[in-house]
Amino acid sequence: MIPAVFERRRAGVLLHPSSLPGGAGIGDLGADAYRFVDFLAQSGFSVWQMLPLSPTHRDGSPYHSLSLHAGNPLLVSLERLVEWGWLERCDPVGADKAVAHRLACIAQAHRTFSQHASPADRRRFEAFIVAEARWLEDYALYRVLRREFSGQAWFQWPKPLRDREPEALAAARARFVEEMAQVRFEQFVFACQWQTLRAHANERDILLFGDMPIFVAHDSVDVWTQREYFKLDADGQPTVVAGVPPDYFSNDGQRWGNPLYHWERMEADGFRWWIDRLTTEFRRFDLLRIDHFRGFEACWEIPALEKTAVNGRWVKAPGHALFAALKMHFDTLPLAVEDLGLITPEVHALRDSFGLPGMKILQFAFDSGPDNPYLPHQHRIESVVYTGTHDNDTTLAWFNDLPAERQLYVVEYLGYPHEPMPWPFIRAALASVSQLAILPMQDLLALGRGHRMNRPGTTEGNWNWRFTWEQCAPDLTERLRRMLGMYGR
Which residues are catalytic, by number? Answer: 291, 338, 391
Closest Cα to residue 309, out of 260, 262, 352, 343? 260
Helix residue ranges, H only, 449-489: 476-486
Contacts of 174 (CB under 8 A, 6+ apart): none
Contacts of 58 (CB under 8 A, 6+ apart): 151
- 439 with 362: CB under 8 angstroms? no
d(CA 115, CA 48): 37
End-to-end Cα, the chain, rounded Å:
21
- 300 with 286: CB under 8 angstroms? no
Angle between helices 423-431 and 476-486 (to 10 degrees): 30
d(CA 66, CA 232): 18
**For residue 392, which amino acid is it?**
N
Long-range CB contacts (within 8 A, 24+) of 300-304? 300/242, 300/243, 300/244, 300/245, 300/253, 301/240, 301/241, 301/242, 301/260, 302/240, 302/241, 302/242, 302/243, 302/255, 303/239, 303/240, 304/237, 304/238, 304/239, 304/240, 304/241
Task: Label residue 424 exposed, middle or buried (CB < 10 Å: 0-12, 13-18, 19+).
Answer: buried
Number of H-type helices and E-type strands within the chain: 18, 12
